[in-house]
Amino acid sequence: MVSIKDVAAHAGVSPGTVSNVLNRPGKVAPATRERVEAAINELGFVRHGSASTLRAGHSRTIGLSVIDIGNPFFTEVAAGVEDVASELGYAVILGNSAGSQDKEDRNLRVLAEHRVRGVLITPSGEDPARLERLREHGISVVLVDHPAHRPDQCAVAVDDVGGGRAAVAHLLAKGARSVAYVTGPLTIRQCVERREGASAAMRAAGLDPADLRVIEAMTMTARAGEKAAADLIASGLPEAVFCANDLLALGVLRALLRAGVRVPEDVALMGYDDIDFAAASTVSLSSMRQPTYQLGRIATELLLDECDNPETHAHQHIMFQPELIARESTQ
């Protein structure tokens, strides 16, 4: 393996000069710099990142810990993260907690061992202690799609209460007076907050929030949505259905159409997330769009700013507003 010493010998300079060419090219006379660069190319030298990290005391690596890499939501976030990181020469270590605290802990430990510069995380539980441990090791943490645990910390989230409110307000504005909320497990923060928003919209329209019919599915999949729709049909259809995500909504849509229920004439329907397929479905689906890619980009920019400019960095709590996309299912 060719090291900085080999390059130095080949170019007739000292290792320190090679290091300077690599890290502060301005400090080296043009002629020498060219000689060193030629040597680097000739020998095919690649800097040893670990040695550099060890000596410099910090790496050019960040960690990304998500709850479910299979969910298009997180995938888009990851794309935003990866783009920014790659633009700035940072590597991204990916961790998928798959909803398990154990796995999340394992991943965080790996990140700590790698002395990552910082961590972007959508925490799977509500225990801030584990993140405190990272901070004690000098690793910055930015929360993604989650409100901040504390003031001296950056967080980027989307207003789920506001999203739920807007969705149901839209349904009510279309004339619906009875609304059902098909949700995933109510252990999930997002599901709970969207319900709160839904209730608020009912209240604002002069309806009793207690009349919001809540159907809780075990998973947030299309199949679970079909089952929920069967429940709805059996117990009497509402005029509108609001689903906690698009997969549930697509399942509901399918079951309703099969049962001969017309959408939106008989029942209006809203999803959440605005995944690609929402627009492509046979009756195109109204949904709440979240700026997922931006979420990833901005979280990463905040994190790297916090790492690279610790003295000027101002911690921010950013709350995006989701955008209502009205399509055929609520015409």
Which residues of the shown chain bind DNA in the complex (CB under 7 A)? Answer: 1, 3-5, 12-20, 22-23, 27-29, 31-32, 45, 47-48, 51-52, 54-57
CB 184 within 8 A of CB 219: yes
Q: Which of 5, 27, 133, 150 binds its own copies (CB under 8 A)?
A: 133
Nearest to 36 by CA among 52, 47, 48: 47
| Using rule CB under 8 A, residue 70 touches its own copies | yes
Distance CA 214, CA 198 (A): 10
What does each C-alpha distance from 299 to 12, 128, 148, 158, 295 come to in angstroms? Answer: 45, 18, 12, 12, 6
Binding track over 205-224 against its own copies, x by CB under 8 A = ----------------xxx-
CA 62/CA 275 separation, integer angstroms: 27
326 binds, among DNA, its own copies, none (CB under 5 to 8 A by kind): none
Which positions from 235 through 254 interact with its own copies, judged by CB under 8 A?
A: 247, 250-251, 253-254
Q: Which does 311 bind (CB under 5 to 8 A by kind): its own copies, DNA, none?
A: none
Beta-carbon contacts of 89 under 8 Å, excluding residues fewer than 6 positions away, are 60
DSSP3 helix / strand / coil % (the chain, rounded to 5):
50, 15, 35
Return the one option of DNA, its own copies, none that residue 172 interacts with (CB less than 5 to 8 A, by type): none
**157 near its own copies, rule: CB under 8 A:** no
Q: Which residues contact 17 (CB under 8 A, 6 or more apart)?
A: 8, 28, 32, 36
Which parts of this chain interact with its own copies (CB under 8 A)?
A: 1, 44, 46-51, 53-54, 59, 61, 64, 69-70, 72, 75-76, 78-79, 82-83, 86, 89, 91-96, 98, 103, 106-107, 109-115, 133, 136-138, 221-223, 247, 250-251, 253-254, 257, 276-277, 279-283
